[in-house]
Each structure stands twice: as structure tokens, then as C-alpha cells.
Amino acid sequence: MKKLLRHISPDPQQLALQLDFFSTDFPSPSAIDGPAPKQGPGIQQSLSPVPPDATAPPNGMRRVQLQEHVLDYILVRSKRRSIGFLIGDEGLRVTAPKWVTLGEIESAIREKQRWIFAKLNERRERSARRLQPQMQWCDGAALPYMGTDVTLRIVAMQSAGISYDETARELTVSLPADATEQQLKDRVQGWLQIEAKRLFAERLPIYAEKLGVTFQSFALSSAMTQWGSCTADGRIRLNWRLMHFALPQIDYVIAHELSHLREMNHSARFWATVQSVFPEFEAAKKALRDHAPETLPIF
């Protein structure tokens, strides 16, 4: 999972903040720093030894016993002044100053173990979701829309068209018999973008009024890395792929971007602003983060 990135352009009017896919904001979901202990003599290692019958850690990795858990990690020495933790494809990587002892490093791991295990579990779950089969573009396929699945129905007709039956939760696409899969995707994408423009136009004024802000304009985004962005002069961009998610997640992104018109940063005051109009923002943010990109349809 990626961080919320702050992009500052030389022109203050172009100052923009963007909300990345599957983000958890600051600190990063997979990286955290902790202060390194003060350097000095006589620091003793305080770790309980790993049971002698435990299997050896993989090459290049170290091992620490955390109560009933055994944790393997990669240790990287650097010139940095603090101990850093990063969860990557290889697991936990710890970066520490050269002068910090192993005892101090492993004490820091103990202190952050809840965070470490939580992020390792998130990483494991995302990896499992990546193995799930992608959506098949055929009659009867399930298309994620507004937080649930709708059934895709394909009808062979000379004239192209598309209609949605909300009661039956079926999206019927009419295409010539010789139409390609890409033509089907383009038709469904066009419908999702029309729906996105309609819904965003309804929801943006609601949260703008709650926040007491005015946005200049909004447009759809097809970015592959951001859910939305906001410039200092009030231009909002929202990703049409949000239509795959339930309304609370969509409203969260809208409230997030509009809140930047009061706080052009990601400070505590910014998050308090988001919470003032969207109290359940943490749950919505987690729901977005927990959906790996691979679980969304590919157009």
C-alpha cells in the first residue's frame, strides 16, 4: 500500500494534494520510524533466546522471538539517525544506524510488534486477493458497482445500447454479434463514467455546503494511482473507478478532497476537518485500502 503524496508546484495556484489508491495516509501503512536510542557504552542485549530446536532463518535474515511468535527480518545498517521499519514483499526490513546494538533493535521490534504483525497480515491478505481470478467479460459476469455486484447481460443486436435494471441489478449491454471484448469494455466504462459524473455532481455540493467551501470545478479522472486530487484554486478531480465502491467510500474521497480547501495539507487539523463532516472516515479509508488494484475490473 502507498502513501498520500503531497505535490507542491512552484505556482501557488497549482498547489495540489492527491489521494492515492489504497492509501492509509501518514504514516505509511508499510513504513514507520522510531527514534534510535542514545548512543553510549554498557547497553546490554535483553532478548530471550530463540528455542534451540527452531529452524534457522532464511539466508540474509535475522530472527527474534516475540512471545509465542518467531519473526524473521532483514537488517540493513545505514547512516540514518533512527530505526525504520518497512513491510515489503520480502517481509519486515529494519534499517538502523550502525552504532545501534542488536538488543536495541530487537527491543524496538518488540515495541512495534502490534503494528508489524498487523501490516504483515494486511500484506498477506492482499497477496491472497491478487491470486483471485479476474472478472471475465461475458454474459452473466459480476461487475462491482456501488459496493455490490451487478450481473452483466450481453444481448446481440445490430444497434448498440446499454440499460441498467436497478431492481434486478442487471446491466444489459446490446452489441452486434461480432463485437469484440474491448468494445464491450468500452461500453461499460462509458456507462460507469456517466454514472460517476451524475453521482459526483450530486454529492460534491452536499459536502461543500457542510464544509463552507466553494469548489471551482470538478472533472473525472482516469488516473491509475490516485482516487482524487484538489488544487488550491478549487479544481477537484475524482476517479470514475470509485463507482465500484459503496457510497460511504465515495463520500469519504469527496469529503477528503473538499477538506483541502480549508486545510491544504495532511495535518491533524485537516483530519479533524474531514471528521467534522464525515465521522466514519476511518472505516471508509480502510475499505478503500483493503481493495487491491488487482481486484478491480480491467478495462
Q: In a 10 Å sphere around its CB, with 0-12 CB exposed, 13-18 middle and 19+ buried, how is residue 234 labelled? A: middle
Distance between CA 106 and CA 154 in Å, rounded?
A: 58
Q: Copy the grid coordinates of residue 263.
A: 486545510
Q: Within its chain, how far is the Cα of 244 from the centroid?
A: 14
Q: How confident is the model at residue 295 (pLDDT cuts 50, 70, 90)?
A: confident
- Average pLDDT for 41-53: 40
Distance CA 177, CA 188 (A): 17
Q: 14's torsion region: left (phi>0), alpha (psi -120 to 50) or beta?
A: alpha
Q: Report the alpha-carbon distance of residue 61 to residue 133 in Å, rounded.
A: 33
Average pLDDT, integer, range 248-268 = 96
Is the dihedral angle over the CA atoms 93, 97, 103, 105 positive or is it negative? negative
Indicate whether 29 pLDDT > 50. no
Segment 187-238, tens digit of pLDDT: 999 999 999 999 999 999 999 999 999 999 999 999 888 899 999 999 999 9
DSSP state of 190: H
Res 24: pLDDT:
38
Residue type for position 186: D
3-state helix, strand, coil in the chain (%, to 5): 35, 25, 40
In one-letter notation, the amino acid at residue 11 is D
| List of residues 6+ apart from 286 with CB closer than 8 A | 24
Q: Which range has highest mean pLDDT (80-84, 176-180, 249-253, 292-296)?
A: 249-253
Task: With a cut of 50, say whether residue 50 has pLDDT above it.
Answer: no
What cell numbers appear for 177 in the block?
A: 454479434
Across the chain, how many H-helices and E-strands are there?
A: 6, 14
Q: Band of the pLDDT at 258, cuts 50, 70, 90?
A: very high
Q: Is the pLDDT of residue 100 over 60?
A: yes
Query: What does the pLDDT read at residue 46?
Result: 37
Share of the chain above pLDDT 90, in %: 59
pLDDT band, very low/low/confident/very high, at 47 (cuts 50, 70, 90): very low
Q: Distance from CA of residue 61 to its chain's centroid? A: 28
User: Would you state the pLDDT for residue 137?
Assistant: 93
Q: Provide the sign of the torsion angle of the four alpha carbons 119, 124, 126, 127, taken in this order.
A: positive
Q: Does domain 180-295 have CATH number 4.10.490.10?
A: no
Domain boundaries, the chain: 36-130, 180-295
**pLDDT exceeds 80 at position 54:** no
CB atoms within 10 A of CB 270: 18
Query: 46: alpha, beta or left, given left = phi > 0 and alpha = psi -120 to 50?
Result: alpha
Q: What span, in angstroms and rounded, lies between the C-alpha atoms of 297 and 299?
A: 6
Residues 88-111 have a mean pLDDT of 91
Q: What are phi and psi of 90, to 5 degrees?
A: -85, 0
> Other CB atoms closer than 10 Å to residue 166's CB: what's the count?
8
- Separation CA 104–CA 221 (nearest Å): 47
Predicted local distance difference test score (pLDDT) of residue 38: 53
**pLDDT, tens digit, 9 for 90 and up, residues 123-160:** 787 766 666 667 889 999 999 999 999 999 999 988 88
pLDDT at position 130, please? 62
Element (H, E) at 151: strand 148-156
Could you tell me which of 85, 109, 80, 84 has the C-alpha nearest to residue 97?
80
Determine if the pTM surpasses 0.75. no
